[in-house]
Amino acid sequence: MSKNVGSIRRSQIISTFGPGAIVDFRLPGSGALLSGVMQGLEAWEAYTKGGYKQDVVREPRLEVLLGVDHFRAPPVGTYQRDGQTKDRVLPIERFPDWLSCPECHVINRSGHWAPSRNGDSLHCGKCRGKPAVVPVRFVTICENGHLNDFPWTSWLTHEAGCSRPVLALKTVGAGIGGLLLTCKSCGADRSMAEAFSPNGIPKHKCGGGRPWLGGRETGCEAAPRITQRGASNVYFSIEQSAITLPDWKVPFREKIADFVDMLDYLDDDEDKMIDFIKKKILPNWDAPESAEEIALRFREMKEDNSGIEGDLRLDEFRMLLTDTSSSDESEMILLNRQQPVPATFSGMISWISSVERLREVRALTGFTRLRAQVGGKPDAVPLSRSDLSWLPAVAMHGEGVFLSLDLEAVSAWESRPEVVEHLALLIQTHMDTARAEGKQVDGAPSQLNARYMLIHTLAHALIARMSLDSGYSSSALRERLYVGPDMAGLLIYTSTPDADGTMGGLSRQARPARMEQLVLQALADHELCSADPLCYEGMARSGSNGNHAACHNCVFLPETSCEVWNGFLDRSLLSAGPLSFFKNLIE
């Protein structure tokens, strides 16, 4: 596309509309509908005029985990060229390429329609009024992430002698069975319902299309599946995020960002490194360190990063168990204020704090189609043709509530024979379901354990309750789970990009009187479900997502709020029934 066709918020690029996603725009001039696929990261670099330094986002711990040098926020703003101010843009490519006339219902490729006078839209030149043509509803995707136009030409079998077919997509009845692909030349027709097969489009193979990268991949054996271009299964983003912790390395790395490559090069020669620092860095250095001290800190930063753990959450968990309010609050990246734990929760909850300020860096690492990635499966579809030294990301600022369960109490509870037996049945059901769907099963997902499901279900229950009391909708709240041998906590937070933070309505929920009422009410809310007894007995779930007593009537949340797409939830471990961790509170 050579013209600006619309705008998207930066944060949406990292979640909903990243490279490989289909986006609909209304063209500014005509109001005509344009559907396009967001282009890959190489195209970002080609369109990032005026450089990218103003877009750099830093989070050293996450950079090391993902193996990149830095992150870049989607480009916004303007740049100067030939004395003119121009917009910095992200590129899209028209997709699907097939368009339909809303009057005569004829469908054809984009090159067969008449362009408008200013060239920003396409029109049907045969219908009265020359209406703007619109993208067809259907595209094809596969589990390997490919995206193709539906095979309109080969889907219909024409009558003998039909040399110039004219295809039309007409609605003649209710439902998908009433949608017919017809040929106006020979009268042949076929229902679109036949294309919606669980085994793929009959007698058609995947075309291997990668319109966000350009070109095609050959040899894809996955079955192509028809879907609507705006369906949720067309694009599932894969994100990695980290909470920025108070650390000298963050501001230090930002200050030497322009010199990191040269310092790396000179690292083996102490004298040359000191000379370089004195000449290039010290003249603009706004701190009292000497050249020798800067060199020492640079080496400490490198050594610390090279040994970083793959899992960032243990460091975050430990920091969230630390009250940082005694420090200079104006300088704190993570302002965490401990709150007294109500006596009601003694022996169950060991820590509560109001997170009055936090910064989260959220990076887009890939995406999937057909189903979301959980536990590393299915494999991520790449955002670029080759490995780059950066990934797209945004820095979010906000507030939240953190609580940790008593580790000894959780360990004792998850070791109870009835809880162990319950989880064994869930694991067996999950594996049987996966095998029935034709998947190879090496073992149960790591999230399918009692501790994770307890923490996860509690987070959903608290978010549902907080959405009624804090002034935020449930879709504006997110969970961050801390589960492991030494962790049993959760952070519920809200955040916005490019802002100093939010208004404090969420972090105030951590105050003792408020938190006691909130937790008790959240537990009571999920004792029963309107779908019981089916929900409680696990008959409302498929088995493939690791759920048991969980459905849309009780603990499910908007998918933007959940880390694992509403999987691994079970009310019976929370407050519904004899297995529940909080059984004594309910009784």
- CA 479 to chain centroid, in Å, comes to 13
Look at residues 198, 230, 262 and tell me which one is the last residue of a structural domain: 230
CA dist., res. 587 & res. 583, Å (int): 6
Give the pLDDT score at 492: 97
Of the residues 263, 282, 306, the one at which a domain ends: 306
Instruction: Answer yes or no: do 164 and 262 share one domain.
Output: no
| Domain tally, the chain | 3
Same domain, yes or no, for 137 and 274? Answer: no
Residue with tokens 């990149």: 68
pLDDT by residue (tens digit) across 304-340?
Answer: 544 444 478 888 998 899 888 876 656 568 899 999 9
Q: Is the pLDDT of residue 434 over 50?
A: yes
Q: Does residue 357 share a domain with residue 482?
A: yes
282 & 342 share domain: no
* DSSP letter, residue 259: G
Whether 78 is covered by a domain: the verdict is: no
Section 42-59 average pLDDT: 79
Residue 273 lies in a domain: yes
Judgement on whether residues 325 and 422 belong to the same structural domain of the protein: yes
Q: Which of 204, 230, 256 is the last residue of a domain?
A: 230
Q: What is the CA radius of gyration of the chain?
A: 28
Binned at pLDDT 50, 70 and 90, residue 11 comes out as confident
Q: Are residues 320 and 447 in the same domain?
A: yes
Residue pair 60/305 in contact (Cβ under 8 Å)? The answer is yes
pLDDT band at 237 (very low <50, low <70, confident <90, very high): very high
- Residue pair 344/116 in contact by the 8 Å Cβ criterion: no
pLDDT at 70 over 70: yes
With respect to residue 70, please indicate whether it lies within any of the assigned structural domains. no
Answer yes or no: is pLDDT of 498 > 80.
no
What is the spatial order of strands in the sheet that 167-171 belongs to?
A: 167-171, 179-183, 189-191
Residue 111 falls inside a structural domain: yes
The answer to whether residue 198 is domain-embedded is yes
d(CA 331, CA 329): 5
Whether residues 549 and 451 fall in one domain: yes
pLDDT at 151 over 80: yes
Confidence band, pLDDT 50/70/90 cuts, at residue 431: confident
Q: What backbone phi and psi angles, to 5 degrees, belong to 152?
A: -60, -45
Two tokens, residue 347: 């022996």
In this predicted structure, what is the pLDDT of residue 10?
83
* Domain hosting residue 255, numbered range: 241-306
124 and 185 share one domain? yes
In this structure, are 328 and 439 located in the same domain?
A: yes
Write down the pLDDT at residue 246: 77
Answer yes or no: is 251 within a domain: yes
At 482, the pLDDT band (50, 70, 90 cuts) reads: very high
Question: Based on the domain organization, do 152 and 256 belong to the same domain?
Answer: no
User: Both tokens of residue 427?
Assistant: 């694991």
- Kindly indicate the confidence band of residue 562, based on its pLDDT and cuts at 50, 70 and 90: very high
- Give yes or no for residue 354 having a pLDDT over 80: yes
Specify if 68 maps to a domain.
no
Per-residue pLDDT averaged across 132-142, rounded? 95
Residue 389 placed within a domain: no
Q: Tokens standing for 132? A: 């703007």
pLDDT at 304: 57
Partners of residue 395 on adjacent β-strands: 361
Residues 278 and 336 in one domain: no
Share of the chain above pLDDT 70, in %: 92
Residues 308, 65 contacting (CB under 8 angstroms): yes
Q: How confident is the model at residue 1 (pLDDT cuts 50, 70, 90)?
A: very low
Most confident among 86-95, 437-446, 516-525 (mean pLDDT): 516-525
Q: Is residue 181 domain-shared with residue 255, that is, in the same domain?
A: no
Q: What is the pLDDT of residue 309?
A: 43
Most confident of 29-33, 58-62, 299-303: 58-62
* The model scores a pTM over 0.75: yes
Band (512; pLDDT cuts 50, 70, 90): very high
**Average pLDDT value for residue range 379-385:** 94
Q: What is the mean pLDDT of residues 56-77?
A: 88
Q: Report the mean per-residue pLDDT for the chain.
A: 87
174 vs 354 pLDDT, higher one: 354
pLDDT of 540 reads 65
